[in-house]
């Protein structure tokens, strides 16, 4: 029988973004307990992984100030995800825990050591969401004046990932011998310096901690620009993508798989997960009402423009809401810009106004999924069939995160997928990389 199952991930932030939602205003997320509850729910539903996003500044793009972001709690405040990954990994048994760490701002040795440590604390279920970062405000927090141009960021990231991989591989699998008779903990001949002297980085190595359970963590990536897709096709075990509709999804997946093949990789070893924000309710009418309610949230349009503006580093407050946008380019997230303006690969040109683009951007995501669990499960199955694979990365409409929403998905939508043979009903592997390769 054909295995029609697809992979499921969840995209979360470690901030207070949902504090003023009718069903999400309590309690505060800062002690980690909200995410722990959600991780347990995702694990009951057999998700592959929870991915925690991260950025390193309070945005100040919208209207040229950070005031709007702080007032509404958009993209800030935000905790560091690394300690949370340790807690979540310790308290779960199967769910992959992925955090975002930037190649522009972390020293490679520190990142390799953190990744090895977290892979142990999660029992081999740690993943690294590899980002190069896009915000000039973050660059200014680290003593730079602006972000390097995208091509340079990816040149640096290529060397960075190679170095981190070398450091993680600097301990042979059998280096720890624990021989009581000779009082030998480590066989020093099995721990090797890396002697890396590259264009951007130098590191002597070896890493000063033991080899991690997976050897290296799972690599997750979200390249959107041609250069980013090439990078993702080269390194990623799982790619997360935001695009428009089935045609956009298929074009994106075909493209990154072609990149992978050109690099000599088996494209089936990469799982592409498409960002979706389903709106689920008991009846079709209730789901539609909830969807419209999100769009009617106070300041919805401004909030969406501020959030998108921070991804693409463009002040969207400068444009007329009732006119089409002029052609835009960015040194920020090209993928997010293409999706928002609906001009990505495979998309027809259009003359939608900025207001329409905002309306279509928040809840519909890669696909518009509004309805009962059975209705949405059916649509997700049909779309996956047409795209060819590999799964979905779920997020709350407009980026919020509430127990109520997560349970609707894990206790309503996922069982509907499972009844159709579209989702895992039990874990059969131990590490995140194995889980991703299960089908």
Ligand X SMILES: Cc1cc2nc3c(=O)[nH]c(=O)nc-3n(C[C@H](O)[C@H](O)[C@H](O)COP(=O)(O)O)c2cc1C
Written as six digits, the tokens of 167 are 């450091």
Nearer to ligand X, 156 or 281 (CB): 156
Q: How, if at all, do strands 202-203 and 196-197 pair?
A: antiparallel
Nearest distance, CB of residue 230 and ligand X, angstroms: 9
For residue 356, the minimal CB distance to ligand X (Å) is 22
Length of the chain: 439
Query: How near is the Cβ of 132 to ligand X at its closest, in Å?
Result: 6
One-character DSSP codes across 91-157 = H-SS-EEEEEEETTTS-HHHHHHHHHHHHHHTTS-EEEEEE----HHHHHHTT-SSPPPHHHHHHHH
Q: How far is the CB of 397 from ligand X (least distance, A)?
A: 14
Strand partners, 280: 371
Q: Report in angstroms how near the CB of residue 150 gets to ligand X at its nearest.
A: 6
Residue 158 φ then ψ, to 5°: -60, -50
Angstrom distance (rounded) from CA 282 to CA 285? 9
State which residue has the least CB distance to ligand X.
Answer: 228
Pairing of strands 176-179, 218-221: unpaired
- Interface residue list for ligand X (CB under 6 A): 11, 53-55, 100, 131, 133-134, 222-225, 227-228, 240-242, 275, 333-335, 393
Contacts with 153 (C-beta within 8 Å, 6 or more apart), sequence order: 103, 104, 132, 133, 147
- Cα–Cα distance for residue pair 202/133, rounded to 1 Å: 21
Of 23 and 110, nearer to ligand X (C-beta) is 110
CB closer to ligand X, 193 vs 226: 226
- Tell me the closest approach of the beta carbon of residue 61 to ligand X, in angstroms: 14
Quick one: which of 173, 166, 89 has its CA closest to 127? Answer: 89
Which of 95, 275 has the CB closer to ligand X? 275
Please report how close the Cβ of residue 261 comes to ligand X at its closest, in angstroms: 19
Q: In whole angstroms, how close is the CB of 342 to ligand X at the nearest point?
A: 15
3-state secondary structure of 238: strand
> Whole-number minimum distance, CB 231 to ligand X, in Å?
7
For ligand X, give the closer residue by CB, 52 or 163: 52
State the Cα angle at 134 between 132 and 136, rounded to 5°.
125
Q: What is the dihedral of CA 332, 335, 337, 341, to 10 degrees?
A: 170
Q: Which residues contact 179 (CB under 8 A, 6 or more apart)?
A: none
103/372 with CB nearer ligand X: 103
Which of residues 114 and 416 has its CB atom nearest to ligand X in the complex?
114
Q: Which CB, 129 or 170, lies closer to ligand X?
A: 129
Instruction: Write the DSSP symbol of residue 15.
Output: B
Distance from C-alpha of 357 to C-alpha of 401, rounded to nearest angstrom: 23
Residue nearer to ligand X on the CB measure, 211 or 396? 396
């Amino acid at each position: 029988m054909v295995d029609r199952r697809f992979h499921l991930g969840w995209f979360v932030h470690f901030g207070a973004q949902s504090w003023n939602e009718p069903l999400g205003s309590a309690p505060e997320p800062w002690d980690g307990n909200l995410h722990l509850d959600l991780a347990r729910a995702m694990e009951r539903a057999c998700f592959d992984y929870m991915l925690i996003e991260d950025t390193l500044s309070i945005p100040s793009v919208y209207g040229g100030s950070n005031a709007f972001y702080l007032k509404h709690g958009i993209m800030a405040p935000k905790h560091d995800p690394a300690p949370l990954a340790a807690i979540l990994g310790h308290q779960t048994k199967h769910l992959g825990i992925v955090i975002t760490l930037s190649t522009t701002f972390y020293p490679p040795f520190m990142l390799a050591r953190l990744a090895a440590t977290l892979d142990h604390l999660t029992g081999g279920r740690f993943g690294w969401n590899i980002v190069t970062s896009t915000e000039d405000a973050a660059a200014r927090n680290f003593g730079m004046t602006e972000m390097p141009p995208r091509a340079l960021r990816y040149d640096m990231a290529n060397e960075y990932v190679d170095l981190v991989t070398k450091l993680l591989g600097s301990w042979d699998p059998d280096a720890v011998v624990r021989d009581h008779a000779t009082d030998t903990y480590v066989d020093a001949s099995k721990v090797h310096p890396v002697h890396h002297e590259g264009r951007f980085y130098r590191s002597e190595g070896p890493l000063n901690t033991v080899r991690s359970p997976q050897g290296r963590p799972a690599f997750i990536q979200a390249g959107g620009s041609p250069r980013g897709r090439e990078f993702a096709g080269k390194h990623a075990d799982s790619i997360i993508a935001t695009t428009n509709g089935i045609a956009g999804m298929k074009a994106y997946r075909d493209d990154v798989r072609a990149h992978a093949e050109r690099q000599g990789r088996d494209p089936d070893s990469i799982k592409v997960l498409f960002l979706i924000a389903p709106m689920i309710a008991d009846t079709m009418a209730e789901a539609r009402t909830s969807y419209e309610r999100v769009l009617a949230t106070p300041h919805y349009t401004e909030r969406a423009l501020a959030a998108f503006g921070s991804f693409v580093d463009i002040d969207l407050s400068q444009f007329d809401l009732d006119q089409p946008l002029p052609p835009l380019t960015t040194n920020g997230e090209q993928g997010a810009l293409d999706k928002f303006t609906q001009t990505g690969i495979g998309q027809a040109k259009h003359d939608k106004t900025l207001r329409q683009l905002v309306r279509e951007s928040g809840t519909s995501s890669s696909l518009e999924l509004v309805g009962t669990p059975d209705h949405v499960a059916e649509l997700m199955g049909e779309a996956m069939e047409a795209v060819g694979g590999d799964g979905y990365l779920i997020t709350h409409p407009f980026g919020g995160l509430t127990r109520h929403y997560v349970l609707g998905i894990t206790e309503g939508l996922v069982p509907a997928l499972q009844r159709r043979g579209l989702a895992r009903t039990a874990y059969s592997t131990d590490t995140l990389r194995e889980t991703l390769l299960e089908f």
